[in-house]
Amino acid sequence: MGKKIGIYGGTFDPPHLGHMRAARETAARLKLDEILLVPARLPPHKQLPEDAGTPEQRLEMIGYIADALSLDLPCRVLDLELKRQGPSYTVDTLRELRRAHPDDELWLLMGTDMFLSFQDWREPEQIAELAHLCAFGRHDADKGAILSRQRERLQALYPHAEIRALTLRSLVDVSSTDLRHRLREGEGGGGLWPPVYGYILRNRLYGTAADMKRLELPELRAVSQSMIKAKRIAHVLGTEEEAVRLAKRWGAEELPARRAAILHDCTKYYTAAEQLQLCEKYGIVLDTLERELVKLQHALTAAALAEHVFGEPPEVCRAIRWHTTGRADMSLLEKIIYMADYIEPNRDFDGVEGLRELAYRDLDAAILAGLEMTVEEMNERGLPVHGKTLEAVAFLRGV
Ligand SMILES: [Fe+2]
Ligand SMILES: [Fe+2]
């Protein structure tokens, strides 16, 4: 049996939480096996605003949405409309997709506005033959009635079409036009998936002009999340949450703990080439083991970005610098970030409960236990242990 594939097109300029939730809930309701997001090149039905993102930027932004959605079900971005010359018509896209998926069930997903003008699209009858149609609107009596009236109308026009009209509870009332306006006014990224907001800030899209060295917490979170994969976001948020708890328990300042936690893994997904490029740019000297193990490099490069790009103070940068290996005689903030990274709520390994309990009773003992677990694990896997980790162990043991 073929797969059920949802096809969701739009200008996505920028893509927002409304798009994301619509895709997620529609997929659940239709029991889709896969979602394809299709950013449009030149929408035939509307003029692009002057400050529109470039096709490449829209492609990158929608990529964040696809990354997040694919935690639940396969989701891909298709750039076939962006690559096509001239205006892009849905019917052409569907013909291509039909060829690529001869045995699959295609569902064209669309919001209320698109659905209401469906009969005016290019070759609507063809579209309805190539794919089933699914319109979605907000969950209120008004929208429900409008959608079902249009559904009946289209069903009469195209008797063989399969047409669904859903009202979605999770749909939020945002529009890309409003969002662009609010971004230009510096009103923040509510309504945007944070990594998309972070991407917009980093690239100064839509008239934003954030100073990277003076980001408030929501913006710092967004920018950091725009640098990592969706699956790591929960870990970074968890590390921040744990760092704040530990800071309160051990009398450290909350804000530096938050900022260090937010940035600690921001270069985790940089490629080996990108890591080396940053090392060169910021004069980072790697030791033999660090050169060999790319995994160790992100602590150094994230610390460098924290200093040079985000303007963080030395104590914050050092906490990021030492979060992976630890070192002898760590500062309180360094200990907090090391530990928070180790025991944050999403961590799930044998002994994590005991380590959590210990961290709030005797921080040094917990750090030592954590370091020893790391050494043991590396030994078991036949991997070398970093000298700084061994020094930290020796220091805490008092030898
Ligand atoms: Fe890390
Ligand atoms: Fe981490």
Structure confidence by residue, pLDDT tens digits, 235-251: 999 999 999 999 999 99
Q: Is the pLDDT of residue 44 over 60?
A: no
d(CA 77, CA 79): 6
Same domain, 88 and 190: no
Q: Which ligand is nearest to the CA of 337?
A: 2
d(CA 378, CA 372): 10
d(CA 130, CA 98): 7
Q: Give me the pLDDT at residue 184, please.
A: 92
Same domain, 123 and 145: yes
d(CA 169, CA 266): 34
Ligand 1: centre distance to CA 358 (Å): 21
Neighbours of 33 (CB within 10 A): 15
Q: Give me the pLDDT at residue 45, please.
A: 58
Between helices 352-361 and 332-343, what is the axis angle to 10°? Answer: 160
Number of residues that make up the chain:
399
| Paired residues of 167 in beta bridges | 137
pLDDT, tens digit, 9 for 90 and up, residues 332-371: 999 999 999 999 999 999 999 999 999 999 999 999 999 9
Ligand 2: centre distance to CA 336 (Å): 12
Ligand 1: centre distance to CA 324 (Å): 6
Same domain, 31 and 89: yes
Domain boundary among 131, 147, 168: 168
Same domain, 357 and 262: yes
Same domain, 243 and 300: yes
Neighbours of 253 (CB within 10 A): 12
Q: Is the pLDDT of residue 300 over 70?
A: yes
Average pLDDT over residues 143-157: 92
Same domain, 35 and 180: no
Q: Give me the pLDDT at residue 204, please.
A: 94
Same domain, 137 and 201: no
Average pLDDT over residues 121-140: 93
Q: Is the pLDDT of residue 315 over 80?
A: yes
Indicate the pLDDT class of residue 42, thresholds 50, 70 and 90. Answer: low
Same domain, 321 and 200: no
Same domain, 188 and 305: no
Range of the domain at 347: 231-397
Average pLDDT over residues 150-172: 92
Q: Give me the pLDDT at residue 84, please.
A: 85
Sheet of 105-111, strands arranged across:
75-77, 34-39, 4-10, 105-111, 132-138, 163-168
Same domain, 385 and 251: yes
Q: Among 28-42, 217-231, 238-252, 335-349, where is mean pLDDT lowest?
A: 28-42
d(CA 183, CA 191): 11
Same domain, 115 and 142: yes
- Count of structural domains, the chain: 3
Q: Which two tokens stand for residue 139?
A: 């969950």
Same domain, 215 and 269: no
Instruction: Write the CATH number for 378.
Output: 1.10.3210.10
Q: Give me the pLDDT at residue 88, please.
A: 78
Ligand 2: centre distance to CA 321 (Å): 12
d(CA 36, CA 274): 29
Ligand 2: centre distance to CA 258 (Å): 13
Is pTM beyond 0.85? Reply is: yes
Domain boundary among 136, 152, 168: 168
CA torsion angle 200 309 343 275 (round to 10): 100
Instruction: Write the CATH number for 121.
Output: 3.40.50.620
